[in-house]
Chain A
Amino acid sequence: QWSTPGRGCLLREIHLNVTDLGLGYRTKEELIFRYCSGPCSDAETNYDKIINNLSNNRKLDKEKPSRTCCRPIAFDDDLSFLDDNLQYHTLKRHSARKCACV
């Protein structure tokens, strides 16, 4: 069965209050937060297999290089909101637009 590598890594979204982000803002405004999630095992390269094998054989001492991750490769548009003290804030690169196994 033919399959696209990394197709389990998908863009998902959740409707949140700005305060849920935990960035310290006091406001009642809301947003759609988009994030990347899903397995990347089918997108692994020889590099990732080697890293995996070397880690298992303890040839890398204590280092643990990361393997393929499901991450944003593009970010959503900026988000602006007015806080409870009537100050505007603009968040940049806060939400994903496109995902890939990288």
Chain B
Amino acid sequence: PALTRENNCLNAAKACNLNDTCKKYRSAYISPCTSRVSTAEVCNKRKCHKALRQFFDKVPPKHSYAMLFCSCPAGDQAACSERRRQTIVPVCSYEDKEKPNCLALQASCKTNYICRSRLADFLTNCQPEPRSLSGCLKESYADCLLAYSGLIGTVMTPNYLRTSHISVSPYCDCSNSGNSKEECDRFSELFTDNACLRNAIQAFGNGTDVGVWQPMPPV
């Protein structure tokens, strides 16, 4: 018999549509995120973001995280990883006409109280710590995943990059950083190359949240 490889992201979408709450809030964000409002705009981004925030606020993590953090076998690009990338409807919620500088995006986030508090939450709860076995200073994968998912629906909305390993980023880069190139790279790497966040996502996807703290012996 042919061995069919499980597509965790597809299974999560199926489970969502069989649950009344998840189904309702899923279509409640997909509708505004896929409705063209004019020839110039693919969607109403403000409405899309608001509905995405509602989805992560109202739907139990069992369903919302299962779709956002589903694990995909390496090399399975089309079926699994692309579906995972499409979870937030990136054409509306993520991509933009121009890719801003990450520090400029951070500054614009700080002018909005929701974005400012959620970014602060993310920087606190997903702060990496190489000496911790979990990779996190605050050794709680659940808090890091909650803080990360809280950014979805703000101007800092992150998404998976098309890379072979797990890497995420808001829609920005560090070109045109001038004197602040190092500061920008440091900020950007908290998304793209953050062991705490990566471990948290992988642990959820594999169902192996370790959550133990093993401090290094004092030197």
Q: Residues of A with Cβ closer than 8 Å to B?
A: 15, 28-32, 77-82, 86, 88, 90
B84 to A: closest C-beta gap in Å:
11
Interface size on B, residues (CB 8 A): 20
Interface status of B83 (Cβ within 8 A of chain A): yes
Cross-chain contact A30 with B17 (CB below 8 angstroms) = yes
Give 6 new A-B contacts, CB below 8 A, not counting A29-B14, A80-B26, A88-B86.
A28-B7, A77-B27, A78-B27, A78-B28, A86-B82, A90-B34
Interface status of B20 (Cβ within 8 A of chain A): yes
Measured in the bound complex, the distance between the Cα atoms of B86 and A30 in whole Å is: 18
- Contact among B13, B20, B33 for A77, CB-based, below 8 A: B20
Cross-chain contact B18 with A15 (CB below 8 angstroms) = yes
A47 to B: closest C-beta gap in Å:
36
Closest to B17 in A: A31
- Contact among B17, B20, B28 for A81, CB-based, below 8 A: B17
Residues of A within 8 A of B20 (CB): 77
Residues of B within 8 A of A80 (CB): 26-27, 30-31
- Contact among B24, B28, B89 for A88, CB-based, below 8 A: B89
- Contact among A32, A78, A81, A86 for B13, CB-based, below 8 A: A81
CB proximity to A under 8 Å, residues B6-64: 7, 10, 13-14, 17-18, 20, 23-24, 26-28, 30-31, 33-34
Cross-chain contact B14 with A79 (CB below 8 angstroms) = no
Residues of B within 8 A of A77 (CB): 20, 23-24, 27
